[in-house]
Amino acid sequence: MFTSPSFTISKMKWRLVVVVSCLLASCAAQKQQGSPKEITFQVRGNMLFLDLTVNNKKARFIIDTGASVSLVDYEQAEDYGFQYFKNRNVGKINGIGGVTDLRMVTKLKVAAFGCESKFIPFYGSNLKYLNDHLASQYTKVLGVLGSDFLARSGAVIDYQQRKLILTH
């Protein structure tokens, strides 16, 4: 039987919608209604650092309101047990290290904000330049929490209390 390419793509999109919906529903079931989630961050210079758990291992992230997407360093994939598609670029991004490719990431489980299966869409990118820059003054990071996550989560950054508050 012949299957048209558009039918196959539609089927794939439908499956993706189902998987994402299940992940979001799982998180919503765990989350207490109406109670914002708070996590303390550290300030070093003008940078905000946040500790999260990725695949049951502590990982440091930067909160970057100027980053349009959330990223993880695919060079650290083996250390944290996630995978990325080496030959499947999904776009390019311009950041502190110049223009770099974005890659799809799988098997990335982030436990944060009182909800273990919180769906945070991360892209893989080479963050070597960022980490080289940070290593001399601060600490190595696994990733960047960008404005895509912050906006969707209703994030409030309380600089005085040093807390990231998620209202949704």
DSSP 8-state assignment for residue 27: H
pLDDT > 70? residue 79: yes
Count of helices and strands (H, E) across the chain: 4, 11
pLDDT tens per residue, range 129-153: 888 888 877 788 999 999 988 998 8
Task: Write out the two tokens for 128.
Answer: 């070597």
Helix (H) / strand (E) element for 104: namely: strand 98-106
Across the chain, what does the average pLDDT equal?
78
Q: What is the pLDDT of residue 73?
A: 94
What number of other Cβ atoms are within 10 A of residue 65's Cβ? 12
**Which 3 state secondary structure label does DSSP give 135?**
helix
Q: Are 162 and 43 in contact (CB under 8 A)?
A: yes
Distance CA 54, CA 85 (A): 18
Kindly report the backbone phi and psi dihedral angles of residue 17, in degrees, each rounded to the nearest multiple of 5, phi listed first. Answer: -60, -40
SS3 helix, strand, coil % of the chain, rounded to 5?
30, 40, 30
pLDDT tens per residue, range 5-45: 444 445 544 444 444 444 444 454 444 456 888 999 999 88
Alpha carbon 18 to its chain's center: 20
Q: Residues in the chain, how many?
A: 168
Distance CA 146, CA 65 (A): 6
